[in-house]
Structure formats: structure tokens, C-alpha cells
Structure 1
Amino acid sequence: MSPEAANPGPARAWTEVTDPELIVANLHRNYTGVSTTIGALLPRQDVRHRLWLVGRSLPDGPSAHSLAAALAISRRPPAGRPFRIWHVRRNVELQVAWLARDLLRLPIRIVFTSVALHVHSFWPRFLIARADAVIATSKRAASLRPNVAGIVPHGVDTEYFRPPTDRGQEWAQAQLPGRYGIGIFGRVRRGKGTDLFVEAMLRLLPHHPDFTAVIVGPCKIRDRPFQANLVKRIAAANLSARIRFLGEIEWAEVAAWYRRLSIVVAAARYEPFGVTILEAMASGATVVATRTGNYEAMIEEGQNGFLAQPGNLDELTASLEEVMTQPERMQSMGVAGRQRATALFRVETEAEGISKVYEKLWQGGGR
């Protein structure tokens, strides 16, 4: 999804920093889910730490500094700190930080956020083992990593992602059939379970005329045959008007679609974490997800949503039908989801947990 207008509204006044204690790396050339996480955290971290963003700039973010500038300023410790902290989230960033610390002998310490729920190959394992502190985003991720200094789940901006005053009116603005929207967010591909969502809709929509389904997200060139097959299946079922591929949309429109949809589905066969469900919960939508990522920690079964086994179409369909047949319960579950998101998964809580790891390092903890 496009990063444009990621934080709509007046531009934030960022603190001008000449001697950062914290280097936040964003070295990937594309705007990714990691970029979204960094962008949401930066305003909260900016009030806690003297920081630089290094690499690619972010919408409405602070001025980005070059890697060369970060290396140059890291030749000496910052004022009032024994060393600078480099917070990295990608393998390439971890490798650069490791070389800066161990080859160039710079006075820095490395914090790495680990999301993956699988055992890495040799080289990533080697690098992660050399981080001074690892932040895991879930208990399962923590069980697979050394040097874990804290478990800090990703959070959601509960002010930006918020329930609508009237979801029915929001849905009407979409100018699509029916009274209720049900959708899935993310890249169109098998791993995200787009095919499972479509197959479930092919089964359910003929019996639920008040619902229309949308698929929100881009489709890469290699996945176009996969999408074309789904479009063909939808057309054969005469449901093209009620199962819509919206493609890639502007970031500001993503929040609007969460407010329009009554149910949000995450049908991934594998997901490292799964922020879309948190965004949906914060927006007051009922959620149905598979038992991957951190979804089991987010969803209270039967309270704010349902869970199905990854790849199990029958179970996914049954969970969705239970919600779709009870519109009043669907609304109350959305309210419960909003309450759970604001209580447990606010981005401010994530920023606070990360800061605790930093302070522990500065006070002499770590590898």
C-alpha cells in the first residue's frame, strides 16, 4: 500500500538533533510493513530519546540521515551516554550494524527486533546471536532467539485507527452492494490466504445477500496468474459485483476501509505477527484470523473474533458464518475488539517497552 499520507493532518514539529543517542535504521528501498512500524513508533520515541532516522525517509517523519553520516557521528559516544544504540529490524541493517561495531570498532550497541516464527538459516542466526539485545514481538518468537531482552508486541495507533460514528453510513460511501462489508488486507498471494478468503466468500455470499467482500492490497507480477484464477472463479459463480479486488490504495484510505468493514479477515497460512488485525480491532471491526502470527494473543475466541487453523477452509468458513448470521453480535464483538486493542496493544505501550530495553543496555545490561 502506498505510504503517501501515512499520517494525515498538520505536519509534526520534529526535534532537531545534532548528537543522537539512538539511531533508527530504515535501509530498505521500498516502503514495507517494517516501514509502517517504524513510522508509527518514531513520534512516540522522539519525545523519549534524541534520535536519528537513517536511510529512507518516511511520510511525515523526521529528516532522514545517510548511513555515512550515522557511521561518522558514531565514532564517539553521545553526550550523557556510554554509547549510541542502533535499532535495526532487517537482516541487512543488522549486518551493517555488526560490521560498524566489530570491524570499525565504533562505540555502539545493537538492538534487533525479531518477528519471525521460524528458525533462521545460518547467517541470520549468526548475526542475531551477535546483537546486544533482541526484542521479540511474541512469546513464540522469543523462544526461537538468543539474547532476548524483552517481549514487546507491536502496537496500533488507536487515535488514527478508530471506530466510525455510523458504520452503515461509512459503508454507503463505498457505493457497493449490501449493508455490510467483509474484507481482507495485504498482498494478493497464496501465503496471505487470499484464495481461502475468496473460496469462503463463494460459499457464503449466496446465502448472505447483505454482505459484499473486498480484497485490499497490491498484486505483484509473479502473483497475477494466481489473482486471475480467483477472478475467473468469482465470475463463474456470478459474484463479480460482490467480491471486489480494490488493488493498492493510498494509506489514508486504508483507515477509511477499516471503518467501512464490519468483519476483517486474516487468512494467512503463515504470518510473523499480523498488525492488520490490530488495526481492524482498533477500528471496531469483528475479526476472524488463522492461528499464526500473534493472532491468538489478540483475539479472545467468541469475544472479539474467531480463530481457525491455517489452511483449513472449512473451519474458516464456519467461523465467518457464525459472525455473519448474527449482525447484533457482530457489532458487540467489534466494540470488544476496540476495548482490547486500546487496553493491550497501543503503540505507546510498544514504545515504552522498547525504551526499557534501551535503558537496560545503557545501564550495563545486554549480551
Structure 2
Amino acid sequence: MKRECDDVFLDDLEVIIPNLSARYSGGTAVNRTIAPLIAGRCNAAWLGVDRPEGVKGLSFGDLLALRFRAPKNHAFRIFHARRNVEMLAGLVLKALGLRIKLIFNSAAQRRHSRYTRFLLSKMDAIIATSEIAAGFLEHPSTVIHHGIDVETYAPPADRLKAFAESGLPGKYGVGVFGRVRKQKGIDLFVESMLQLLPRYPDFTAVVIGLTTADNRAFLDGLKAQVAAAGLEKRILFLGELPIEEVPVWYKRISIYVFASRVEGFGLTMLEAMAAGAAVVATRAGAAEIVIKDGESGVLAPTGDVEALVASIEPLMREPEKAARIGEKAREVVLQDFNRDREVDEIVGVYRKLWDV
């Protein structure tokens, strides 16, 4: 049986895209989104789990074979890491004799641990996902904002009809997507809905995302609050959905609430904007970079339920205003945060290394 990475491909291989975490996360989602486009511009292969279509798979046996195969097109191959474990793997592979240069994508908006700073000091290039993230690095970096697949995340032809097809009560949806944990501000969203939904009977709220075992008590507490308020049919916890179903829900909701207390970038915010939903975002991650307050979204302080309520309510009171802001948000993503632009800039970093 012919291997997926045959000998000719190994000779031509230019970029290795590792994904070495068993847990599906935002980093995995970003990797899966852009890897096929990178593979369309370079000879690239995926190492690890959750490989997307359009990218060849690379086994650890293939890595060992690469020790004895000089790159055909360049003096070295690119190993593009997004996690500490992948930086470490790259360093080990380099020590074993692979001719690679190491790149790391940094999204964290905090001072890195001593261990991470050590790994970063060994990278040949660093990409920061925002100017804020770059400010926490002790090494030079290239700022490249995340991009969105604007075809997958696109507005519906009729948002009211799209919501009606969900079978949920009311006419409009308001939602938050992401891991159900305190960092993401899911509790702030639920508490704001407990105040707002009784005033606006045409709205239903949805929470979509994975709850890990260590956050089960957190979720149970939120459900208890909802039950005590008698709003079980209007604040729904849908759990983790198949990845292909998530864009459908962006089309259904009119308002998206990005309530994070701490965030690296905030990819769901961009996805919602691309789908034409009005975004209310706390000033976390890249929200202040992405959103012009009152035009392409609404900004609110972090960790403040009353401020969040005050920011969401005008859009619930005037759904037409939410629609207008959603249209502007889509324009912003098309112009500044599309996926092709992100990939072009990433490949530009590769080429700078190859040209040295």
C-alpha cells in the first residue's frame, strides 16, 4: 500500500505543521483552518491529530526518514509550532539532525513562564497574533492577525428564517460559543441573560461549547441559576457540537456576546462578525483592535455584568440596529481579517527565513 507521504513528497517537503495536543482547542481550530491554504502555497504536511482535508499526513517514521534527506527546494524546512510541546518537539528534531527552522505563533497576553521564555529564545522566528501579544514577548516578532474563512462564516439570506429553523422559541437568538469556563465569561453571559430575557420575550439565548471535567461544577451552577429563574427553555446549553454545525448557529443568532475575562485573540468574535452578527465584546483579546465601538460592534469592560447588560440591551431593543452593526462587522472582516491575507503573511515569514 502506497504511503501518503511518499519518497518524492518527502524530498519536496517545505513546511511541517505540528498539532500535538490530544485536546481539541482554539489553537487546533486555527491550525486546521489555515493548514490547507498553506499547503496550497508550499509543500506542507501535517504532523499529529485532527488532520484537515487538503493536507498530507506526516508520520513519526517519516520524520526519522527526513534526518537523511536534505531539503530539495531550500536549505532547511519550516517547523511551525503553536504550543510549548510543539516548540520542544521541534528542538528535539533539530538536535536529532533534521534541517529545520522553528517558528512559533504567540497569542498570549501575559508574561510567559520561564519555561516558555526559554523555548521562545530558541525559535528562529515568532509570529504574534496581535500588537498586544507582541508586547509580552522579549524577542522580535511579526504581528499577523487571525483571519476567517469568509465563505464558511457568512451571513444567511434570511436570519429570521434561519433562527426559526432551529425550532427554538422567539424570533431572535443571542449566543456565546467556546469552552464553558470562567475565563470565557460564560457566567457573565448567563447572568446578563437572566436580567434581559424577561424584558425581551422574542429572544432566546444559546451557549455552545465543550465543558471539561474540571468545569462540570461551574456548568451545573449556571444551569441551577437558569432553572431557579424558570428560563430553562430560553437559555439553552447545547454542549459541544460537530465543527461543521457551528457556522449554522452563527447564521441563526442576531447578537454574539464575547464575554471573556482573559483571551489570547478571540477567534469566535471574528467568526460571528464574518457571519453578520452584532458582536458585544469585553475589552479582552484583540477586541479593541478588531471592533470600532458603536460601528462594527460594541465594547464593554471585562468582568462587569451590569456593563454587559447595558451594552447588550440596546441591540435587543432595536434588532434593526443589531442588523446594521452586523453588516458593518462583515465588511471589516472581509477587508482586514480574511483568511487568505493571514496565510499570505505567514508564508511571507517563511520566505524571509528561506531567503536569508
Task: State the partner residue of 2:125.
Answer: 133
- 2 CA distance for matches of 1:72 and 1:146? 35
Matches for 1:1-367 after TM superposition, within 5 Å: 17-19=9-11, 20-101=13-94, 103-364=95-356
Determine helix, strand or coil for the equivalent of 2:104.
strand
Q: Is the 8 A contact 1:100 1:106 kept in 2?
A: yes
The amino acid of 2:348's aligned partner reads K
Q: What is the Cα deviation at residue 61 of structure 1?
A: 4.2
Query: CA 1:268–1:132 in structure 2 vs 1: closer, same or farther (change >3 Å)?
Result: same
- Of 185-194 and 161-170, deviating more is 185-194
- 2 CA distance for matches of 1:292 and 1:69? 41
Tell me the alpha carbon deviations over residues 326-346 of structure 1, each in whole angstroms, 9 at most, x when there is no partner.
111111101001101111101
Percentage of pairs with the same residue = 42
- 1 CA distance for matches of 2:318 and 2:192? 17
The amino acid of 2:16's aligned partner reads I
Tell me the alpha carbon deviations over residues 184-218 of structure 1, each in whole angstroms, 9 at most, x when there is no partner.
00111111111100100011111111111010112
- Of 309-318 and 142-151, deviating more is 142-151
The amino acid of 1:185's aligned partner reads F
Determine helix, strand or coil for the equivalent of 2:197.
helix
Q: What RMSD, in angstroms, separates the aligned Cα atoms of the two structures?
A: 1.6
- 1 CA distance for matches of 2:67 and 2:133? 30
Q: What is the Cα deviation at residue 128 of structure 1?
A: 0.6
- 2 CA distance for matches of 1:209 and 1:63? 50
Query: CA 1:114–1:299 in structure 2 vs 1: closer, same or farther (change >3 Å)?
Result: same
Query: CA 1:137–1:167 in structure 2 vs 1: closer, same or farther (change >3 Å)?
Result: same
Query: CA 1:221–1:135 in structure 2 vs 1: closer, same or farther (change >3 Å)?
Result: same
- 1 CA distance for matches of 2:9 and 2:326? 42
Q: What is the Cα deviation at residue 304 of structure 1?
A: 1.9
The amino acid of 1:196's aligned partner reads L
Query: CA 1:59–1:108 in structure 2 vs 1: closer, same or farther (change >3 Å)?
Result: closer
Q: What is the Cα deviation at residue 57 of structure 1?
A: 4.0
Q: Is the 8 A contact 1:154 1:350 kept in 2?
A: yes
Q: What is the Cα deviation at residue 136 of structure 1?
A: 0.4
Q: Is the 8 A contact 2:67 2:96 kept in 1?
A: no
Task: State the partner residue of 1:5.
Answer: none
Number of aligned positions between the proteins: 350
Structure 1 residue runs of 5 or longer lacking an equivalent are 1-13
- 1 CA distance for matches of 2:68 and 2:302? 48
TM-score (structure 2 length as normaliser): 0.95
Q: What is the Cα deviation at residue 235 of structure 1?
A: 1.5
Query: CA 1:50–1:63 in structure 2 vs 1: closer, same or farther (change >3 Å)?
Result: closer
Determine helix, strand or coil for the equivalent of 2:198.
helix
